[in-house]
Copies of this chain bind each other. A is one copy, B any other.
Amino acid sequence: MVYAFRFLKVAHPPCSILTVRAYHKLTCDTINPNVVKLQYAVRGPIVIRASELEKEISRGSSKLFDKIIRCNIGDCHASGQKPISFIREVLCAATNTRIMDTDIVPDDAKLRAKRFLDSCGGSVGVYSQSTGVEVVREDVAKYIEQRDHLPANPQNIFLSNGASEAVKSILQLISTGEDGCKRSGVMVPIPQYPLYSATNAEYNAYQIDYYLDESNGWGLSVEQLEEALEKCKDKCIPRALVVINPGNPTGQLLPKEAITNVLKFAYKHNLVVLADEVYQHNIYTPEMGFVSFKRALHDIGGRISTELQVASFMSSSKGFMGECGLRGGYCELLNFPEDVQQQLYKCLSARLCSTLLGQLTMDVVVNPPKPHEPSYNSFMKEKLSVLGELKQKAELTTKSLNSLPGFSCNPITGAMYAFPRIDLPKKAIETAKSKGMQPDFMYCLEFLEEYGVCVVPGSGFGQMPGTWHFRITILPSIEEMKLVMDRLKEFHSSFLIKYS
């Protein structure tokens, strides 16, 4: 009797008043299960604990540290990086047009503000087209043309609230909502930036993990991609492949050859490529430059270059600008049929438009001061200072991490993160498991509690089973990064003693 009832419930319950009553309130049992499944480690329990500690310190609680150093999130300005003056000058002139009558901001900043306002109807308070203000999309197209020496069409570009919104809208477009073996499959690198796993959960896509090769500089191997795809072939219809270059959390710049191989693999298996290229300005290796997926695709030539569908994402939150809170971003679509673009743009129109000031920020990033303009020198000085310091910190961090016993870390060649591997003592692993924690979670938690440094455990990004990592940003100042490395050294040796 009980079984029969249970079966009925699972298969198709009758829609009785009783069933309706059971839904009396929104509870965790009655809300969208995809929301419940969704996880986002960058803002997970360790980070929540860091905020609590900050409050304890401000209430006068005594600790061995006087502040929390946040190495958990790519939040440049929060880590002390100064905003690029020119970006703010343009924004402030566009926001309060009376500034135009003063000499507080330079003429080239006024010019950009005026051009933007002329194009959007005179106020940053208007709704733009759902895809974004036309001159910004034109400027983005020119930027891509200069970067890749290839034509770009503003019609294929849409602006978004940061890159995150654009990524979500493309994954939503690809996820058909079907279940069983017809579920959409999305290949995601492991380790990954958790926006991807969160969004796959949100839209009920089947996530196909593929491992990056840590022993080979977090490289991409086609064998690994084939193996991952093969394993899931009865579980979903693979539809898309995500690549993050430079890598998050791995801090790895991909060589052109690797990109070419991925594109060929995607074409062979009819996958749409999501190219997360938000760190394209964050390159720290003199031996290699950034090569876009678009450039690599073009250079393969033949049908693949005119058929393979690629969505490339860029943001104003990273690079030298680090304007996270302004929520500027864009996406370029390659080889998407016009009617599919129209469907996507229609879907974006229900949220009206992305923030106009985020759009304007993106505009300044793709259309910075030119050599003949008054702000050129100061702009370049600020830009190169930020990128130069990041390069120094990339080298410092790589070197310091590799000097610790049981640590190994690939060189940080791009982005703003390191993802070191740690050999944890057996006793630490057992202790963590007895507490119901992942061992790397326990490691990060103890580091936070004892030394006030907030990093995110590798389990939040995914890692090869049996290996342990954490992600650490290189955003704090050089002095603070040195302090972080000193604290880590001290913590790590006491941790090894504690669990030996």
A286 at the interface (CB under 8 A from B): no
| Bound Cα distance from A168 to B169, whole angstroms | 13
Segment with Cβ contacts to B, from A173-181, A215-223, A402-410: A173-181
Beta-carbon contact of B204 and A270 below 8 Å: no
Report which residue of A31, A128, A172 has the largest number of chain B beta carbons within 10 angstroms of its beta carbon. A31
**A336 contacts across to B, CB distance below 8 A:** 26
A31's contact among B20, B89, B176, by CB below 8 Å, is which? B176
Beta-carbon contact of A38 and B180 below 8 Å: no
Beta-carbon contact of A340 and B31 below 8 Å: yes
A428 at the interface (CB under 8 A from B): no
**A104 contacts across to B, CB distance below 8 A:** 96, 98-99, 102, 104
* A31, chain B: closest CB distance, angstroms: 5
Beta-carbon contact of A323 and B125 below 8 Å: yes
Beta-carbon contact of A161 and B164 below 8 Å: no
CB closest chain-B residue, reference A82: B123
CB closest chain-B residue, reference A316: B125
Beta-carbon contact of B327 and A354 below 8 Å: yes
* A475, chain B: closest CB distance, angstroms: 11
Q: How many copies does the complex hold?
A: 2
**A347 contacts across to B, CB distance below 8 A:** 35, 38, 202
**A76 contacts across to B, CB distance below 8 A:** 125
A427 at the interface (CB under 8 A from B): no
**A4 contacts across to B, CB distance below 8 A:** none
CB closest chain-B residue, reference A238: B20
| Bound Cα distance from A12 to B181, whole angstroms | 8
A352 at the interface (CB under 8 A from B): yes
A121 at the interface (CB under 8 A from B): yes
* A177, chain B: closest CB distance, angstroms: 6
Closest 8 CB pairs of A and B: A325-B356, A92-B96, A77-B123, A198-B350, A15-B181, A77-B125, A125-B323, A43-B349
Give 20 pairs: A residue, B residue, CB < 8 Å, sorted on A: A14-B181, A19-B237, A25-B270, A25-B309, A27-B337, A33-B177, A35-B172, A38-B346, A40-B350, A43-B130, A83-B123, A96-B104, A125-B322, A125-B323, A127-B325, A324-B352, A325-B355, A326-B356, A327-B354, A327-B355
